[in-house]
Amino acid sequence: MEALRKLLPPFWKRGAAAYIARQMRIAVPTESDPRERRVAVTPDVVAKRSGGEVGFVVQAGCGIRAGFGDEEYRQAGAEVAGGLDHLKGAEAVAVVGPPAPEIISRLSPGTVLVGLLQPLERPEAMAELAAAGLTAFAFELVPRATRAQTMDALSSQATVAGYEAVLLAASSLGRFFPMLTTAAGTIAPAKVLVLGAGVAGLQAIATSRRLGAMVSAYDVRADAAEQVESRGAGFVTLEVEPLDATAAGGYARELEMSAQERLLAGLAEHVARADVVVTTAAIPGRPAPRLVTADMVRSMRRGSVIVDLAASSGGNCELTRPDQVVETDGVTVLGPTDLVGRAATHASQMYARNVAALFELIFPEGKAVIDLGDEIISGACVTHDVEVIHPRVRELLAKGRG
């Protein structure tokens, strides 16, 4: 009898009928956007979380572009299903980007949906999720609190974007990043200017430093100088009053017009001296702040490169065009929107751990507990009980319909 207890602990603790009845199922479909290479749940997360009260079912081929084959999922303990029928009856569904209508139509009312849903850019789509009866959580709205760090998908993915931005700049620049002393003479290091010292900016600084460049950076937030200098870069000091980031939940805010004009005037000389400019400034739900004007671009040396990480929200550079290469007076302006997908394997692993951490909060014992008194749950929850409940999204919907 004792041997049986050791072999079947779930039966002994919870009763065979309860265990056999049904695991909570977490479903993972292939991403709706054909350009998306990431996957929401990776085999390592399946191996750690599946069994007992939780089971994973993934769509065949969903992880291929991120470097994870179906057999890896099976070995980790997941069920691999063809088509989208596996979504029916699932208690939870994890996606990277916004799901297509054919995915939403297969989800049962009450299903928990988590992903980078773009709630502030697509409020009407959030209303559709509410109408479908889904409880949707958007990683973009997870509060930047200490307890939520393991769920901060924006930060994990921004780390990848900052790294890839510098690699793209280095491969596009017709110069070396490090200083080289050779028989043919000494090569001076490249000068890199990073605008925006959030997670992506700090990673861009660190990567540029590792490649041997001379790095300087600027951010409007009051605590940015210390973070920039801790990465070995010089902080650009301008005659602009720093902003308190805590007043905006850790995110940058817009400057007043007069301060914006002083900012552009102060940055002009630093941009002109740079070989590479990496811009990372973003304001959630708003167009990206303008940091580099067309005149600044023309002031740079021929062969210089600008990589604009804010291209999808309008760009920090006036000349940026999403996913296009713009050349002006010999300066190349790049506006990639797929940087994170270029390191899809590690980006997916990091994102999947964010997903797992959020699910642990929502499903503490294999059953959804939507405790709106919890700051993380209330902060990230967009729709619940057939309503859009997030105040910012509700406000956007009201403005759009007014």
Does residue 155 carry a catalytic annotation? yes
Does residue 251 carry a catalytic annotation? yes
The model's pLDDT over 91-112, given as tens digits with 9 standing for 90+, comes to: 999 999 999 999 999 999 999 9
- Neighbouring-strand partners of residue 25: 55
Does residue 149 carry a catalytic annotation? yes
Please write down the long-range contacts of 97-103, taking CB distance under 8 Å and 24 or more positions apart: 97/31, 97/32, 97/33, 97/36, 98/32, 98/33, 98/122, 98/125, 99/29, 99/32, 100/32, 103/29, 103/32
Which of 49, 70, 152, 275 is flagged as catalytic?
A: 152
Which of 74, 122, 144, 342 is flagged as catalytic?
A: 144
Which of 59, 155, 313, 349 is flagged as catalytic?
A: 155
pLDDT at 298 over 50: yes
Could you identify the residue written with the tokens 């072999």?
Answer: 7
Which of 5, 75, 147, 149 is flagged as catalytic?
A: 149
Does residue 218 carry a catalytic annotation? no
Among 151, 157, 160, 199, residue whose Cα is nearest residue 354: 151
pLDDT at 306 over 90: yes
Could you identify the residue written with the tokens 């139509």?
Answer: 105
Name the 3-class secondary structure at 140. Answer: helix
> What pLDDT, on the 0 to 100 scale, is given for residue 402?
54
Does residue 163 carry a catalytic annotation? no
Which of 122, 251, 299, 342 is flagged as catalytic?
A: 251
CA distances from 305 to 18, 20, 165, 236, 264 (A): 61, 60, 11, 19, 19
Whether 84 and 59 have beta carbons less than 8 Å apart is answered as yes
- Average pLDDT across the chain, whole number: 90
The model's pLDDT over 172-227, given as tens digits with 9 standing for 90+, comes to: 999 999 999 999 999 999 999 999 999 999 999 999 999 999 999 999 888 899 99
The model's pLDDT over 266-290, given as tens digits with 9 standing for 90+, comes to: 999 999 999 999 999 998 888 999 9
The model's pLDDT over 224-244, given as tens digits with 9 standing for 90+, comes to: 999 999 999 999 998 877 665
* Separation CA 302–CA 68 (nearest Å): 42
